[in-house]
Chain A
Amino acid sequence: MLVVRRRAGEGIVVAGEIAIEVIEISRTRVKLGISAPREVPVLRKETVTLREENRQAAALVSEQGRAGIEQVLRALRLAMNNG
């Protein structure tokens, strides 16, 4: 891993077209500004797993359709009665 030290207002450039600037440094956090081409996804690390989970969520409707939804509704009605 490349480690560089930067101050607020300074930045780095990746592959000639992705610019990352340190906008602000506070006691516990760093605010970064990232400029990248539209086709380059810029993601916080925690959203990478979330993308896959959301794709699965969409598949509930697109792949399982009404049968899958009916199954969810049955369990949900039981949950409402239990609650």
Chain B
Amino acid sequence: MTREVIASPLLGEIETGSECEMSFPFGIPGFEEMRRVVPVEIPAQRPLIYLLDAAHPETCFLALPVFVIDPHFKLTMTEDESAAIGLPAPPEAPCEPKIGEDVLCLALLVPSERTVRANLGCPLVVNLRNLRGIQCAPPDGYSNCLKLSPEGVWEPAC
């Protein structure tokens, strides 16, 4: 198995390989060339997840598992999105894969005033069987945004 060391300005040297990388065949909107994504967890900072662009490690996102933000979150994907990451498409299966069982589901954190907000309408979804991922973008993707207050409360933001 090929090992590679990537140098992140923020996290230092990270050893990676195909088994610990996620593949985003279409990148993510705005970063269409970001195809190889390395998730990094720092135990003292859990549940925060760093998502590094393996090809350009200066590009890095912060993300949280969606259930950390909203324990009642329900994932819905379009047929095209499911197909893009190799999930069974209807009529074989509904477009509602099980989070934690079928897919990993993360929300990107966006700076907002003194803390962050998260758009749960546009999560990153990674098929746990092949580590292929996509950012969902439903037409009403801006109806489920939450903002983290400095006091630690997730509040509706859109």
Contact = CB atoms under 8 A, between A and B. Distances in A.
B111 A76 contact: no
Interface of B: 10, 28-32, 45, 47-48, 50, 58-62, 64, 68, 108-111, 114-116, 119, 122, 135, 137-139, 141-142, 148-154
Given A50-B30, A82-B153, A72 B109 contact: yes
Interface of A: 41, 43-47, 49-62, 64-66, 68-69, 71-82
7 contacts: A50-B137, A50-B141, A57-B62, A58-B60, A62-B59, A80-B47, A80-B68
Given A57-B61, A57-B109, A50 B152 contact: no
Contact of A72 (B59, B116, B135, B154): B116
A54 B153 contact: no
Nearest to A66: B10
A17 to B, nearest CB: 19
Nearest to B52: A61
Contacts of A78: 150-153
